[in-house]
């Protein structure tokens, strides 16, 4: 899944304080992202505090966004939110403004776990806006072991009891992590070894499906599941006694990020909006609404606890594009694995 602001003149002392209206009545911020990415309350409060009207423009895919932004270097939009893999192209093609962090007093609130990523290794162009983190969830009353990481999924006691989501790169990726490798391993011979390890998991797999995978935990069809973020929050709402595992081998996650286009019509307004969203209470409202993991460390105390990664979790990696040869082998691993699970 997975924008206009600052007053033209604000004294330096007011930057870290509350937002002060300083725009004419016809000021406008054009926000470009997917539908339903902000609670209306947050947008309304911003308009009330600044006098800036928000125009919310939607795209259906990241590729559509890139095409539109590329046409005029983003000259039609002030703030854009998109997925990590496409942000890499945005930055490489010079479509994102290099951030003036003096205008982002709340930038320091960002959780360092989600910084320094492949698409923006020096955090100069983007601001994280939520993370999708697939996690292991299990019923402790039905499982005889304490699950602490991906490797535990191979335990013989879990025969015919695991429900998996159906993303071939993610499942290959967590198998790589179980073997002590990168989720984005590119050596084909090494990926073949990953495939062999994955086949050894087949006896423990009850089902592979993307839609409503969490239901298998709720109806007792499975006692362990590897779930997407929205499924994790959904199943915990139904049964808070289930256990969530933050794997000791490290997280695999995806990040949505905000950027200001290099030719944004009103960059001052854009900076004010981004800084507003980074306020802890505002961020908490946003993450509660979209159901993604909180990427704002200062917001952790205000957000749903199920959307906060524990303090001791410091390792994480994003699935990235790999070579055609590597991807072909990952696909082959997946095909053979699914056949073995049938």
For the chain of 342 residues, list the mean pLDDT of each consecutive stretch of 10: 34 35 67 96 97 95 95 90 95 96 97 94 97 97 97 98 96 97 97 98 96 95 96 94 96 96 95 98 97 96 94 90 96 97 92
CATH number for the domain harbouring residue 205: 3.40.190.10
Distance from C-alpha of 328 to C-alpha of 334, rounded to nearest angstrom: 10
pLDDT on residue 315: 87
Distance from C-alpha of 13 to C-alpha of 129, rounded to nearest angstrom: 26
In a domain, 45, yes or no: yes
Identify whether residues 115 and 17 lie together within a single domain: yes
Domain count, the chain: 2
pLDDT on residue 14: 33
Q: Range of 205's domain? A: 135-250+315-341
In a domain, 89, yes or no: yes
pLDDT on residue 24: 47
Identify whether residues 319 and 206 lie together within a single domain: yes
Q: pTM to 2 decimals? A: 0.84
pLDDT on residue 8: 30
In a domain, 112, yes or no: yes
Identify whether residues 55 and 106 lie together within a single domain: yes
């Amino acid at each position: 899944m997975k924008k206009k602001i600052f007053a033209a003149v604000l004294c330096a002392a007011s930057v870290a304080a509350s937002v002060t209206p300083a725009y004419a009545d016809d000021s406008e911020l054009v926000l470009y992202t997917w539908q339903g990415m902000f609670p209306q309350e947050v947008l309304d409060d911003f308009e009330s505090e600044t006098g800036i009207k928000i125009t919310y423009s939607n795209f259906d895919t990241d590729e559509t966004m890139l095409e539109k932004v590329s046409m005029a270097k983003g000259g039609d939009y002030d703030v854009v939110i998109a997925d990590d893999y496409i942000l890499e192209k945005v930055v490489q093609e010079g479509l994102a403004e290099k951030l003036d962090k003096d205008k982002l007093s709340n930038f320091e609130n960002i959780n360092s776990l989600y910084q320094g990523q492949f698409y923006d290794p020096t955090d100069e162009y983007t601001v994280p806006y939520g993370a999708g983190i697939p996690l292991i969830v299990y019923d402790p009353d039905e499982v005889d072991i304490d699950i602490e990481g991906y490797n535990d999924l191979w335990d013989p006691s879990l025969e015919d009891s695991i429900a998996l989501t159906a993303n071939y790169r993610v499942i290959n990726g967590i198998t790589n992590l179980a073997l002590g490798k990168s989720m984005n391993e590119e050596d084909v011979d090494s990926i073949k070894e990953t495939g062999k390890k994955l086949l050894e998991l087949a006896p423990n797999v009850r089902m592979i499906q993307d839609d409503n995978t969490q239901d298998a935990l709720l109806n007792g069809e499975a006692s362990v599941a590897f779930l997407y973020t929205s499924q994790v929050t959904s199943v915990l709402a139904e049964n808070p006694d289930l256990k969530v595992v933050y794997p000791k081998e490290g997280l695999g996650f995806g990040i949505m990020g905000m950027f200001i286009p290099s030719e944004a019509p009103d960059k001052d307004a854009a900076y004010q909006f981004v800084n507003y969203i980074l306020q802890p209470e505002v961020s908490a409202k946003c993450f509660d609404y979209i159901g993604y993991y909180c990427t704002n460390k200062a917001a952790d105390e205000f957000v749903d606890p199920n959307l906060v990664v524990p303090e001791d979790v410091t390792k994480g990696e994003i699935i990235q594009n790999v070579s055609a040869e590597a991807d072909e082998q990952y696909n082959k691993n997946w095909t053979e694995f699914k056949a073995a699970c049938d």
